[in-house]
Amino acid sequence: MSAGAGFAVRAARPGDAPAIVDFNHRLALETERKELDRATLAKGVDAILRDPRLGRYLVAVAGERVVGQLAVTEEWSDWRNGSIWWLQSVYVDAAWRGRGVFRRLLGEVAVLARETGAIGLRLYVERHNESAQATYARSGFHDAGYAVMERIPL
């Protein structure tokens, strides 16, 4: 994948799992003040790394150290007759923020999405996370006019 600016972006590997679990844990604490169970996180990350039908992770690495990540899952849109890629678990280590890590991760995802025929990208962001919303807006995302609702657990 791409390199430059002191880091490279590539597909995640099984050895990246501990860093991805840690980043997901930090993400939940920073954005929603949620303490997630690390064992559950580890199983969820492992599932994606083992089964590409569930999704994929891209990571930004400086040397061997993971400094940023994002996950992608797919949604089929019957209205648009195409696949929409959802960005999830977006996290950049605090020491690497403002250095283009998210921009490069997003650029790689956009290339991959176009190559596979996906028609668009979506993400959800915590309502009060204005910093993330501003970052996403600068990257071309806009409010889609939908409220995300859930029923978890079933």
Amino acid letter, residue 14: P
Is residue 147 in some structural domain?
no
Q: How far apart are alpha carbons 51 and 140 in whole angstroms?
A: 30
Is residue 145 in some structural domain?
no
Is residue 62 in some structural domain?
yes
Report the domain count for the chain: 1
Is residue 148 in some structural domain?
no
Is residue 71 in some structural domain?
yes
Q: How confident is the model at residue 17 (pLDDT cuts 50, 70, 90)?
A: very high
User: What is the side-by-side strand order in the sheet with 3-4?
Assistant: 3-4, 7-11, 56-62, 65-77, 82-92, 120-123
The pLDDT, as a whole number, for residue 3 is 67
The pLDDT, as a whole number, for residue 5 is 82
Q: How far apart are alpha carbons 111 and 101 in whole angstroms?
A: 16
Q: Report the pLDDT averaged over residues 27-49.
A: 97
The pLDDT, as a whole number, for residue 4 is 66
Is residue 42 in some structural domain?
yes
pLDDT(40) > 70: yes
Length in residues, the chain:
154
Residue 55 structural domain: 3-138
User: pTM of the predicted model, to two decimals?
Assistant: 0.93
Q: Looking at residue 100, which CATH number applies to its domain?
A: 3.40.630.30
Q: Report the pLDDT averaged over residues 117-144.
A: 95
Find out whether 107 and 2 touch, Cβ atoms under 8 Å: yes
Q: How confident is the model at residue 10 (pLDDT cuts 50, 70, 90)?
A: very high
Average predicted confidence (pLDDT) for the chain? 96
Is residue 28 in some structural domain?
yes
DSSP 18: H
Beta strands in the chain (DSSP E): 3-4, 7-11, 56-62, 65-77, 82-92, 120-123
Sole residue written with tokens 């859930």: 150
pLDDT(1) > 90: no
Is residue 152 in some structural domain?
no
pLDDT(2) > 90: no
Q: What is the pLDDT of residues 56-115, one digit of tens each?
A: 999 999 999 999 999 999 999 999 999 999 999 999 999 999 999 999 999 999 999 999
